[in-house]
Each structure stands twice: as C-alpha cells, then as structure tokens.
Amino acid sequence: MKIISYNVNGIRAALKKGLLDWISSADPDILCFQEIKANEDQFDIQLFKDLGYEYNYWFSAQKKGYSGVGILCKKKPVNIFYGTGINYMDFEGRNIRVDYNNVSVMSLYLPSGTNQDRLSYKFKYMDDFLEYINDLKKINKNLIICGDFNICHKAIDIHDPIRNANVSGFLPHERQWLTKFLSTGFVDSFRKFNSKSNNYSWWSYRADSRANNKGWRIDYVLVSENIESMLSDAFILPNAHHSDHCPVGIKVDF
C-alpha cells in the first residue's frame, strides 16, 4: 500500500497546475490532502473518481477559502470520521480519518503560529490533539497520521536552525511537543529510512527559497510503532510543484 500526504495550498489552484496528472503518475492507494481551501461544491470530485478514487471524503473549514482536509481512497473504508469531536478544532476543518480493518489513516492540518493569538491557539490544539490521539489509540492500535504539522522537529529538518530558533514552527516548545508525541508510540517514517539533511517539504515563496532549497520539513507520515516493521519505504517528492509544499509518503505492507 502506498500512502501519500500533500498540502496543496488550495486544491483549485493545484488542479490548474496539473495535479491530476501527478496523481495518475504517483498512483497512491490513499492520498491525504491538507489546506484544500474550498468546499466540496467548489470543485469537481468526479475528476478524482475518474482516476480510480471512487471513495473521496472532504472536511472543509466553516470559513470559506481556508484550511480544510480530504482523503482519496481506492478501496472503500469501513468508517469515515470527520473531525475530532472537539468543536474549536472541527470549526477549522483540520482532521479527517478513514478506518480499515487493519489500519486507520488520518489527514491532519495542524495550525501555524502566525501571531501570538494563533500561537496560543496552536499550543492548545497540540495539547488537546495529543490527548485525543491517546484516547483513539485505545481503540485503534494501528494509526497512520499524515499531514502538515507546522513543526520542524530537529535542526536537521530546517535550513537555518540558528536564525529560525525563535520562529513558530521551530520553537523549543513545539519541538518538545513533537518529541513527546513520538514517545507515546509513533515513528517518524521518513527518518527511519533517511538520516540526511537538506530534505524539506515546504519552502517560502520568497527569495527563491525553493530553488535554493532553503526549506523546512514540516510534513510527516507518523506511524504507530507496531506498524514500523511493515514499512518498506518512506519518501519526500520535491519535484511535485503544485504548492509551496511537496508530497511525502510511505509504502507499507499489511
């Protein structure tokens, strides 16, 4: 099974940049989207069905043109869960999950901390999300959490750790939270296979950041520890140019 996660920074814009051709070529079994920035009636879901994703699910923010997540599936899931049941989270359309008999796959879009108010919101979200996942693990032992965490975990995950030390996305509290999250029973799939620097998933649109590879690795596929032995690969796809992010993914054998 190939699972890919992609923050498309506006699905309508990404479609105009050749997203469908890329999906056809990449051919994942499950594709998780973040930051779709659209309601389901604002784009043609039949386009995805025509590619073999008969089962596609969308959870948009109440605010139009903002946030939102989705999941495309080739095989029909047993259950679909929209949101977390935590109102202030679900208002912004940041979580959607599909359950199969042997695994649950979630698309997550964690908030960014663009100012002090949003940073406080992000910290609250982080704490409540961890509690939610800890409860979910009691029911679903095999979890795969795909998405934009808006956090670089370690210095290796950011192009300039010194100058960005006080920037949201690389703050000590954020990094410590991700360490804590992983310690509860998750594996950073990419780092299982690749320990090298200069591997990023997001680049600013400013100052030719992408061309100069001045990026951040803030997109992850985290898997439950009991799935780790089933992983055969984890990867970043920097040649996909439909967004300021690029796709990340795994191959897993159930």
Q: What percent of the chain has pLDDT over 70?
A: 100
Tokens at residue 235, please? 């990867």
In angstroms, the CA 5 to CA 70 distance is 10
pLDDT band (50, 70, 90) for residue 57: very high
Query: What is the set of active-site residues?
Result: 148
Q: How far is CA 148 from the centre of its chain?
A: 4
List pLDDT tens digits, range 181-198. Answer: 999 999 999 999 999 999
Q: Are 227 and 144 in contact (CB under 8 A)?
A: yes
Instruction: Enter the pTM of the model.
Output: 0.98
pLDDT of residue 93: 98
pLDDT of residue 183: 98
pLDDT band (50, 70, 90) for residue 22: very high
What letter represents residue 3's amino acid? I
Determine if residue 243 is left, alpha or beta; phi over 0 gives left, psi from -120 to 50 gives alpha, anything else beta.
Answer: beta
pLDDT of residue 254: 87
pLDDT of residue 108: 98
In angstroms, the CA 57 to CA 30 distance is 11
In angstroms, the CA 100 to CA 45 distance is 22
User: What value does the CA radius of gyration of the chain take, rounded to a whole number of Å?
Assistant: 17
List the domains of the chain with CATH numbers. Answer: 2-252 (3.60.10.10)
Q: What is the mean pLDDT of residues 9-27?
A: 98
